[in-house]
Amino acid sequence: MPLTVSRSPEVAAAQARGGAVVALESTLIAHGLPRPRNLEVARDVEEIVRRQGATPATIAVLDGTVHIGLTDVALERIAGEESLAKLGIRDLPVALATGGSGATTVASTALLAARAGIDVFATGGLGGVHRGGGYDESADLAALAATSILVVCAGVKSILDVAATLERLESLSVSVLGYRTDAFPGFYLTDSGHPLDWRIEEPAQAAAVFTARRALQPGAVVVAQPLPVGEQLDPLLHDRVLADALVAADADGIAGKAVTPYLLENLHRVTGGESLRANVRIIERNAELAARIAVALIDGAALDGAPIHAVPLDTARPAPS
């Protein structure tokens, strides 16, 4: 059966004129933020993209049809329908074949965006390798390895095994850039404690790296943008709440894909909304940067003499001049 795709009038017009478009995931709206705040944030984020000269394309599957860009009515449905499924790549064929509906994850949003000719995608944090050992990792990683797209994020969720996730991204040959940072962000935290090999300073540099990556082979470029120190969740509070939540999850028999939402709910509840505040700021900032990169990609903006440089990780591996 052919894939049924519906572009919103705004996205269709932008692509017809060769304008910049930014993909946005719908799972963040449907499952990542509390109601009714989720709808407010979704509308605000789309407007942030527009203010930077790009067109937002929130992606979802509704009644067996892939939607690239949502009308406000569809956005309300995504935000308000509590039974809406969470659709990873493995779930897409089932939803499409049966007329189902669902919100798309990082992996499925990246896939559908690339198939729709969209090069830039803004999200909050990537999935990754889960804590506790064993083979349990997000489908986001394999999807990024196979998909030509630039993803702006705040690193991976701090409830994950960040070191193992970075190792997997390296093994999968996913290009990772720090945006004005030498350290990989920890989602709620400015610095995860893990260094990065590459740093960029301007959106045009990210666009140039993606152009070069696409010319070489399929695969994603991840642009990791941290929260400013003054906007991050208090690190001591974060670490204490996470440690307590991990113990509680084990005691409650929480395992597999149920662990992440369990830990996040604990963070939201115990921090009195501070984690939600940080989460919203992450989404807003990443949408703004993604839109600027998308515009730079369309414009073919010059690098203005600002070199992309390596971050020296030790004395045996100096940065290139």
Do 52 and 125 share a domain, yes or no?
Answer: no
Q: Measured between alpha carbons, how far is 237 from 242 in angstroms, rounded to an integer?
A: 8
The domain boundary, picked from 71, 86, 118, lies at: 118
Whether residues 102 and 124 share a domain: the answer is no
What 3-state DSSP class applies to 275? helix
Does some domain include residue 317?
A: no
Residue 66 lies in a domain: yes
Same-domain pairing of 134 and 192: yes
Question: How does pLDDT run along the chain (321 residues), one tens digit per residue?
Answer: 567 899 999 999 999 999 999 999 999 999 988 899 999 999 999 999 999 999 999 999 999 999 999 999 999 999 999 999 999 999 999 999 999 999 999 999 999 999 999 999 999 999 888 766 556 788 899 999 999 999 999 999 877 889 999 999 999 999 999 999 999 999 999 999 999 999 999 999 999 999 999 999 999 999 999 999 999 999 999 889 888 988 898 898 887 667 777 887 788 888 878 888 999 999 999 999 999 999 999 998 434 444 555 554 333 333 333
Pair (29, 126) in one structural domain: no
Angle at 230 between CA 207 and CA 284, to 5 degrees: 45
Residue 228 lies in domain: 120-312
Cβ-count burial 149-172 (b if 16+ within 10 Å, e if not): bbbbbbbbbbbbbbebbbebbeee
CB 26 within 8 A of CB 109: yes
Same domain, 183 and 111: no
Asked if the structure places residue 318 within a domain, the reply is: no
Give the DSSP H/E element, type plus range, for residue 314.
none
CATH code where residue 109 lies: 3.40.1790.10
Q: Is-contact 223 200, C-beta < 8 A?
A: yes
- Considering only CA atoms, which of 232, 259, 225 is closest in space to residue 245? 259
Residues 292, 212 share a domain: yes
Give domain status of residue 124, yes or no: yes
Nearest to 79 by CA among 123, 43, 121: 43
**Active-site annotation holder among 10, 25, 46, 274:** 25
Among left, alpha and beta (phi > 0; psi -120 to 50; other), residue 134 is left
Percentage helix, strand, coil, to 5, in the chain? 45, 20, 35
- The length of the chain is 321
Instruction: Name the DSSP class of 305.
Output: T
Phi/psi zone of residue 256: left (φ > 0), alpha (ψ -120 to 50 degrees), beta? Answer: left
Whether residue 44 is found in the same domain as residue 156: no
Residue 31 sits in the same domain as residue 160: no
Domain membership flag for residue 30: yes
Choose one of 89, 118, 147: the last residue of a domain. 118
Instruction: Look up 157 and say whether it is catalytic.
Output: yes
- Domain final residue, candidates 118, 149, 183: 118
Cα 65 to Cα 21: distance, rounded to the nearest angstrom: 20
- The candidate with the shortest Cα–Cα distance to 119, out of 312, 299, 249, 251, is 299
Reported as a single tens digit per residue, the pLDDT across 182-199 is 999 999 999 999 999 999
- What is the domain count for the chain? 2
pLDDT (0 to 100) of residue 254: 84
Contacts by 265-270, CB closer than 8 A, 24 or more apart: 266/241, 267/159, 267/188, 267/238, 267/241, 267/242, 268/34, 270/241, 270/244, 270/245
For this structure, is 25 an active site residue? yes
Sign of CA dihedral 260, 261, 262, 267: positive
Task: Let me know whether 164 and 296 are in one domain.
Answer: yes
Question: Is the domain of 49 the same as that of 177?
Answer: no
The pTM (predicted TM-score) of the whole model is 0.90
Considering the domain architecture, whether residues 260 and 286 belong to the same structural domain is answered as yes
Catalytic, out of 10, 157, 274, 288: 157
Q: Are residues 112 and 136 in the same domain?
A: no
How many whole angstroms separate alpha carbon 59 and alpha carbon 179? 25
